[in-house]
Amino acid sequence: SQKIEQNSEALNIQEGKTATLTCNYTNYSPAYLQWYRQDPGRGPVFLLLIRENEKEKRKERLKVTFDTTLKQSLFHITASQPADSATYLCALVMDSNYQLIWGAGTKLIIKP
Amino acid sequence: DTAVSQTPKYLVTQMGNDKSIKCEQNLGHDTMYWYKQDSKKFLKIMFSYNNKELIINETVPNRFSPKSPDKAHLNLHINSLELGDSAVYFCASSQALGAGGETQYFGPGTRLLVL
């Protein structure tokens, strides 16, 4: 069966450290993978997109990797800050219909 | 200026009632979506419209009917509300459908509670 899995337990990280979030999927062949941030009571906000032929993408303190062999994407936040605390969602984009398939998200808590 | 707006933000209603949620985007995008986010936080696509035409219509009860009067608006009407309809409904838009990887811009959500 098709699945997208993100760590369902909250991730607690000390301020200043690197936070690493995981997105694993099975039985999908996405053309793209996107990461979004969702704060409580708000809609998701786009952060980064990575294509299937890209290994890594960076934006300021954010880095995303995409391994289509392992069927996994890692999302890193370096020099984490309490303001980075939120739920982070990964979404696969299918080439067939451009529909986004969403993971349930991982709640990240950065402790001062 | 709000890019994607939804009204109302909160909706509390009785089972069996009919209600509508409105969505507007001022980004000039061609494609709009309705999502349902349940208590487990999964975002599930319900409908997608491209240039006022229905593109994606997932397995959603026909009590849910979207309407797109123009490219900037996508409303959601729900008939005969049921307890299981309680969720947060998000409207979103993207520049276009196709070419893949289109980033989506979300509204603030409408929290629907059916009693």
pLDDT tens profile B73-105:
999 999 999 999 999 999 999 987 765 567 899
CB B22 within 8 A of CB B7: yes
- Which residue type does B62 have? N
Task: Give the model's pLDDT for residue B100.
Answer: 58
Secondary structure percentages of chain A, helix, strand, coil, to 5:
5, 60, 40
Q: For chains A and B, what is the number of CB pairs under 8 angstroms?
A: 53
Task: Give the model's pLDDT for residue A31.
Answer: 83
**SS3 call for B83:** helix
Residues 55-94 of B with CB under 8 A from A: 56, 90, 92
What is the rounded average pLDDT of the residues B49-78? Answer: 89
Residue among B10, B25, B41, B56 with most chain A CBs within 10 A, to mutate: B41
CB A23 within 8 A of CB A5: yes
CB A2 within 8 A of CB A28: yes
- Which residue type does A7 have? N
pLDDT tens digits for range A49-70: 999 899 999 999 999 999 999 9
Q: What phi and psi values does residue B7 have, to the nearest 5 degrees? A: -140, 140
What is the rounded average pLDDT of the residues A37-50? Answer: 95
Q: Is A59 on the interface with B (CB under 8 A)?
A: no
Q: Is A9 exposed, middle or buried (0-12, 13-18, 19+ CB in 10 A)?
A: exposed
Please give the structure tokens belonging to residue A101. Answer: 């398939």
